[in-house]
């Protein structure tokens, strides 16, 4: 399977714990995005990388959130001191783009439940 993969698919944690998610993009894709989706809403942009550089962060990305993409390959999204409001589906997408807009390919998502 050469699509975008995410791990884990589900995560249940207690409030205050730290969690880390991983995204493996399509191998030749240079852009990688993180989105969050809550029930009844569309995906909301969190941050994106071009190669290893994190170029944009949404105001939704509080100081408790950090994302990395070492070596421009896979990416991790860490949430520290989780809160119940962090419960959502976290989606990763990747694209091969040379211009300002592109078609993004999404992974299956990681569903986070904070108890």
Q: How far is the CB of 103 from another protein (least distance, A)?
A: 5
Strand partners, 111: 10, 89
Site string for another protein, 4-33 (x = CB under 8 A): x--------------------------x-x
Rg (CA), the chain: 13
Binding to another protein in span 52-111, by CB under 8 A: 55-56, 58, 91, 93, 95, 97, 100-109
Contacting residue, 42, 63, 84, 98, with another protein by CB under 8 A: 42
Q: From the CB of residue 42, how many other CB atoms can be counted at a distance below 10 Å?
A: 7
Q: How far is the CB of 15 from another protein (least distance, A)?
A: 25
Across the beta sheet with 65-68, what order do the strands follow?
Answer: 5-7, 19-24, 75-79, 65-68
């Amino acid at each position: 399977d050469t699509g975008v993969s995410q791990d884990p698919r589900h995560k249940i944690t207690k409030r205050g714990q730290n969690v880390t998610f991983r995204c493996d993009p399509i191998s030749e894709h240079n852009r990688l995005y993180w989105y969050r989706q809550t029930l009844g809403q569309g995906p909301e942009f969190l941050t994106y990388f071009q190669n290893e550089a994190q170029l944009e962060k949404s105001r939704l990305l509080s100081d408790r959130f950090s994302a990395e993409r070492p070596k421009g390959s896979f990416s991790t999204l860490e949430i520290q001191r989780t809160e119940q409001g962090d419960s959502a589906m976290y989606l990763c997408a990747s694209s091969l783009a040379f211009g300002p807009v592109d078609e993004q390919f999404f992974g299956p998502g990681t569903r986070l439940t904070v108890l």
